[in-house]
């Protein structure tokens, strides 16, 4: 079907960024041979790189599949709630986002402002978008989940998001696993690439412009993908970071599926969708390429039951032995005549966690220094940034770190003078 496969791991970072949680692009040919692996610092650079890829492919007469790892659509009814009735719902939303989002060449953007304005138009309150740094909080956008979907009628997740265990809602703009900001900053890029006059007549957005069907008429096909769908197949040696490993692995997965003849069925989606579900998918919500059946969350593991040691009057197994790993679907060992105590002891799972506090700090700080690009901060702020990322367990929060002039020095003077430190509930009580 295709001569080239391009997988893009997107980022909504507010400044140039490489490494973890940044943009990664991998292109392979039909045999899975890599043509490039790039880590552009900005969305502007990524768009230009993708344009060059497409231009070269068109010159060679190739068919190209491009997969982006963010939602292409929103839950049904969003366009109508925004008052957009002049085009197919998906296209109306894409046009509106592209018209309103300001995304500079240095990655600075106003996605939170755009989300707040959409909330105002949809509900006149902080719904449905949520999740933002405190400085962007206002009457129409909040940092926490609003819990308003049940009463409002606009769904929290698209149909496809309910099909995929672990998929995040497109309304969530920040925090672990969020994809909302990626959609707001990524949709205008895909729209611009699709509408490039050099190939606009030969490009299609799946499934919006093709239906849930094989896009035979298109030379360039843009699709939504979710690398975590293949999380068990991601090759760690293709990284680090994991973002790089994902695009390299998934690009090869698509090339392999095309080679074995499995890829056409992926474009059909779940064949058991109802006519109404197909209509919603094809006009508003989109679908994730590669998902042909719902993946249900596994049933909880049964509570492990420990056997008694064999022999008359033998005591119960000590509580200390309850570190046995759980086995899903395994029948109760007590009923089946489980193993003896020696065998139980041999199965106790051993872990090698770091326990020395200093060793934990050293390992954490080393990982942060490798991934967080600390030199971007003034020297006086770097130790603070390092410890913030350590405390949060996430270097991505540093993308939103700002401080006023002299703030770090003032904080150090206050600590040296024995000033009180407000934490958690005390901060709330103090209005911080």
Tell me the C-alpha distance between 389 and 380, whole Å.
Answer: 16
The pLDDT value recorded for residue 384 is 83
Whether 45 is covered by a domain: the verdict is no
pLDDT digits (tens, 9 = 90+) for 141-153: 999 999 888 888 8
Tell me the C-alpha distance between 88 and 284, whole Å.
Answer: 8
One domain, residues 106 and 203: yes
Q: Bigger pLDDT: 324 or 70?
A: 70
From first CA to last CA, the distance across the chain in angstroms is 57
Whether 112 is covered by a domain: the verdict is yes
The pLDDT value recorded for residue 358 is 67
Mean pLDDT, residues 409-423:
70
The pLDDT value recorded for residue 294 is 75
Collect all residues with Cβ–Cβ distance below 8 Å to 395 and sequence separation of at least 6.
20, 21, 368, 371, 372, 389
Domain containing 415: what range?
Answer: 359-431
Whether 418 is covered by a domain: the verdict is yes
3 state SS for the chain: CCCEEEEEECCCCCCCCCCCCCCEEEEEECCCCEEEEECCCCHHHHHHHHHHHHHHHHHCCCCEEEEECCCCCCCCCHHHHCCCCCCCHHHHHHHHHHHHCCECCCCCECHHHHHHHHHHHHHCCCCCCECCCHHHCECCECCCCCCCHHHHCCCCCCHHHHHECCCCCCCECCCCCCCHHHHHHHHHHHHHHHCCCCCHHHEEECCCCCCCCCCCCCCEEEEECCHHHHHHHCCHHHCCCHHHHHHHHHHHHHHHHHHHCCHHHHCCCCCCCCHHHHHHHHHHHCCECCCCCCECCCCCCCCCCCCECCCCCCCECCHHHCCCCCCCCCCCHHHHCCCCHHHHHHHCCCCCCCCCHHHHHHHHHHHHHHHCCHHHCCHHHHHHHHHHHHHHCCHHHHHHCCCCCCHHHHHHHHHHCCCCCCCCHHHHHCCC
Q: Which of 283, 315, 331 is the last residue of a domain?
A: 283
One domain, residues 261 and 380: no
Mean pLDDT, residues 4-10:
99
Whether 137 is covered by a domain: the verdict is yes
Q: How does the average pLDDT of the chain come out, rounded? A: 84
One domain, residues 156 and 261: yes
One domain, residues 123 and 232: yes
One domain, residues 129 and 247: yes
One domain, residues 255 and 379: no
Whether 304 is covered by a domain: the verdict is no
pLDDT digits (tens, 9 = 90+) for 202-260: 999 999 999 999 999 999 999 999 999 999 999 999 999 999 999 999 999 999 999 99
The pLDDT value recorded for residue 130 is 97
One domain, residues 271 and 366: no
Q: Which of 227, 256, 283 is the last residue of a domain?
A: 283
Q: Which of 283, 314, 347 is the last residue of a domain?
A: 283
Whether 204 is covered by a domain: the verdict is yes
One domain, residues 141 and 252: yes
Whether 370 is covered by a domain: the verdict is yes
Mean pLDDT, residues 266-280:
96
- Total count of domains within the chain: 2
Contact status, residue 66 vs residue 57, Cβ threshold 8 Å: no
Whether 424 is covered by a domain: the verdict is yes
One domain, residues 124 and 268: yes
One domain, residues 165 and 254: yes
The pLDDT value recorded for residue 342 is 45
């Amino acid at each position: 079907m295709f001569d080239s496969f391009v997988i893009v791991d997107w980022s909504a970072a507010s400044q140039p960024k490489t490494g973890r949680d940044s943009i990664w692009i991998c292109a392979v040919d039909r045999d899975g041979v890599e043509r490039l692996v790039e880590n552009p610092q900005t969305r502007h650079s990524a768009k230009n790189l993708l344009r060059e890829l497409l231009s070269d492919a068109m010159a060679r007469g190739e068919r190209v599949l491009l997969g982006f790892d963010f939602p292409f659509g929103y839950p049904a009814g969003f366009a109508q709630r925004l008052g957009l009735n002049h085009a197919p719902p998906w296209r109306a939303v894409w046009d509106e986002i592209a018209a309103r989002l300001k995304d500079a060449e240095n990655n600075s953007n106003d996605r939170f402002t755009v989300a707040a304005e959409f909330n105002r138009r949809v509900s006149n309150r902080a719904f449905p978008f949520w999740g933002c740094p405190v400085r962007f909080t206002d009457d129409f956008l909040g940092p926490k989940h609003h819990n308003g979907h049940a009463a409002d009628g606009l769904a929290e997740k698209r149909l496809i998001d309910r099909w995929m265990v672990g998929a995040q809602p497109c309304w969530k703009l920040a925090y672990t696993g969020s994809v909302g900001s990626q959609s707001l900053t990524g949709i205008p890029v895909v729209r611009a690439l699709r509408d490039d006059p050099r190939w606009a007549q030969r490009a299609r957005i799946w499934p919006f412009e093709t239906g849930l069907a094989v896009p035979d008429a298109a030379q360039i096909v843009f699709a939504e993908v979710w690398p975590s769908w293949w999380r068990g197949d991601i090759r760690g040696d293709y990284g680090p970071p994991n973002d790089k490993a994902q695009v390299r692995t998934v690009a090869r997965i698509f090339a392999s599926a095309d080679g074995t003849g499995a890829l056409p069925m992926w474009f059909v989606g779940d064949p058991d969708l109802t006519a109404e579900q197909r209509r919603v998918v094809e006009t508003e919500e989109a679908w994730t390429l590669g998902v042909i059946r719902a993946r249900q969350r596994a049933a909880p593991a049964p509570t492990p039951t420990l056997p008694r040691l064999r022999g008359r009057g033998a005591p119960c197994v000590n509580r200390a032995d309850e570190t046995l790993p759980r086995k899903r679907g395994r029948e109760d060992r007590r009923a089946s005549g489980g193993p003896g105590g020696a065998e139980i002891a041999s199965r106790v799972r051993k872990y090698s966690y770091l326990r020395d506090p200093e060793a934990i700090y050293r390992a954490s700080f080393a990982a942060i220094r490798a991934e967080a690009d600390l030199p971007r901060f003034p020297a006086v702020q770097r130790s603070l940034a390092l410890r913030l990322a350590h405390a949060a367990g996430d270097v991505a929060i540093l993308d939103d770190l700002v401080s006023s002039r002299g703030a770090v020095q003032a904080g150090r003077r206050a600590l040296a003078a024995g000033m009180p430190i407000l934490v958690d509930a005390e901060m709330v009580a103090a209005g911080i």
